[in-house]
């Protein structure tokens, strides 16, 4: 099993929840006590010195900022949903990426946040309330983030409820082999350390990941699907993309290039690996994988 070296120091990243606070005010407030840098790739992401403890900071407690790593923050940004879109977050709890989507959509549109695990649904509801993404319900009569306790595989793509869904974020359960212990969404059994990434477990995870990705690509109006894992294993990353790609292409999708300026791309084991994005557990302090499928409709550029 891959062990992340214990001496690796990573900045304390925080994502400003622009539903509640603008970036300049956050920089100003945090800057009173800490050195704060703006991330050069993700507009709402701030970097503070490694080890900065913000757990009890008022801006964290009131949902104005979220402690979310850089790679994790790349996922919703790569999907790039527009205000007013209908979007599904397929495997949503605890909801860090759901509320990032909500902020990117500026409170307009609809996000269906689907989660299978009952206890984690509660955390998801808490996150959306904290972020101010659920309260739009009262203001606009329409649930902006609708939390659904359901198996994503049971959502019927032909159901008229989903006929206008234009983007899907799929961040399924994975081995978690690329993350360190302070990841916010680290509470899944499958993320826990110590049980080893034995091959049969990885094969099971990959089978679900592949099924869920095929399901996401089968929604009729979907134009963008982002797939992400916090795993370093090829079997959960490039191999999933490789096995799904021919079907995706037959549906009219192609691989787009999220963050073309990012140097680390996919392992060269699949055609188009240069479109895939990897972060390195040592160099970038966490190992993530992102793939973006787009179907061209002329509404948006191919990458963020």
Active site residue 230: yes
Alpha helices in the chain (DSSP H): 23-31, 58-61, 70-79, 96-104, 118-131, 136-140, 199-217, 238-250
130 binds ligand SAM (CB under 6 A): no
Q: Which residue is nearest to ligand SAM (CB)?
A: 91
Which residue's structure tokens are 């032909």?
Answer: 158
Which residue from 59, 65, 87, 91 is in contact with ligand SAM, where contact means CB under 6 A? 91
Longest dimension (CA), the chain: 54
On whether 151 is known to bind a ligand per the annotation, the reply is: yes
Pair 171, 78: CB distance under 8 Å: no
Catalytic residue among 28, 114, 174, 230: 230
Instruction: State both tokens at 34.
Output: 């800490």
* CA separation for the pair 183, 268 (Å, rounded): 28
Among 19-27, 45-53, 109-117, 252-260, which window interacts with ligand SAM (CB under 6 A)?
A: 109-117
DSSP bridge pairs for 15: 45, 66
**Could you tell me which residues come within 8 angstroms of residue 129 by beta carbon, excluding any fewer than 6 positions away?**
135
Q: Which is nearer to ligand SAM, 36 or 93 (CB)?
A: 93
Quick note: the x/- pattern for ligand SAM over 142-171, rule CB under 6 A, is: ---------xxx-----------------x
On whether 103 is known to bind a ligand per the annotation, the reply is: no
Among 19-27, 32-40, 114-122, 242-250, which window interacts with ligand SAM (CB under 6 A)?
A: 114-122
On whether 236 is known to bind a ligand per the annotation, the reply is: no
Task: Report in angstroms how near the CB of residue 250 gets to ligand SAM at its nearest.
Answer: 24
Instruction: State both tokens at 111.
Output: 């996000």
116 binds ligand SAM (CB under 6 A): yes
What's the full length of the chain, in residues? 304
Which residue's structure tokens are 């948006």?
Answer: 300
Query: Which positions make up the binding site?
Result: 91-97, 115, 151, 171
Q: Which residues bind ligand SAM (CB under 6 A)?
A: 72, 91-97, 114-117, 120, 151-153, 171-173, 185, 188
């Amino acid at each position: 099993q891959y062990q992340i070296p214990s001496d690796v120091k990573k900045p304390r990243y925080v994502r400003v929840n622009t539903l509640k606070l603008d970036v300049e005010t956050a920089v100003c407030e945090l800057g009173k006590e800490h050195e704060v840098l703006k991330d050069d790739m993700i507009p709402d992401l701030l970097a503070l010195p490694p080890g900065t403890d913000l757990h009890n900071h008022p801006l964290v407690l009131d949902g104005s900022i979220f402690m979310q790593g850089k790679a994790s923050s790349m996922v919703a940004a790569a999907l790039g949903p527009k205000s007013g879109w209908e979007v599904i977050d397929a495997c949503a709890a605890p909801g860090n990426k759901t509320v990032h989507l909500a902020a990117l959509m500026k409170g307009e549109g609809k996000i269906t946040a689907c989660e299978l695990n009952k206890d984690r649904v509660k955390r998801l509801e808490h996150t959306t309330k904290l972020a101010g993404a659920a309260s739009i319900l009262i203001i606009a009569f329409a649930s902006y983030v609708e939390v659904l306790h359901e198996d994503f595989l049971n959502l019927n793509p032909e159901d008229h409820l989903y006929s206008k869904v234009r983007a899907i974020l799929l961040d399924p359960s994975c081995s978690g082999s690329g993350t360190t212990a302070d990841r916010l969404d680290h509470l899944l059994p499958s993320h826990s350390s110590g049980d080893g990434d034995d091959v049969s477990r990885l094969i099971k995870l990959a089978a679900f990941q592949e099924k869920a990705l095929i399901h996401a690509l089968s929604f009729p109006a979907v134009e963008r699907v982002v797939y992400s894992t916090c795993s370093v294993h090829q079997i959960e990353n490039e191999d999933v993309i490789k096995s799904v790609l021919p079907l995706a292409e037959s549906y009219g999708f192609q691989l787009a290039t999220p963050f073309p300026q990012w140097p680390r791309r996919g392992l060269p084991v699949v055609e188009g690996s240069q479109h895939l994005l990897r972060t390195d557990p040592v160099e970038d302090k966490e190992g993530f994988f992102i793939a973006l499928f787009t179907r061209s409709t002329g509404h948006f550029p191919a990458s963020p």
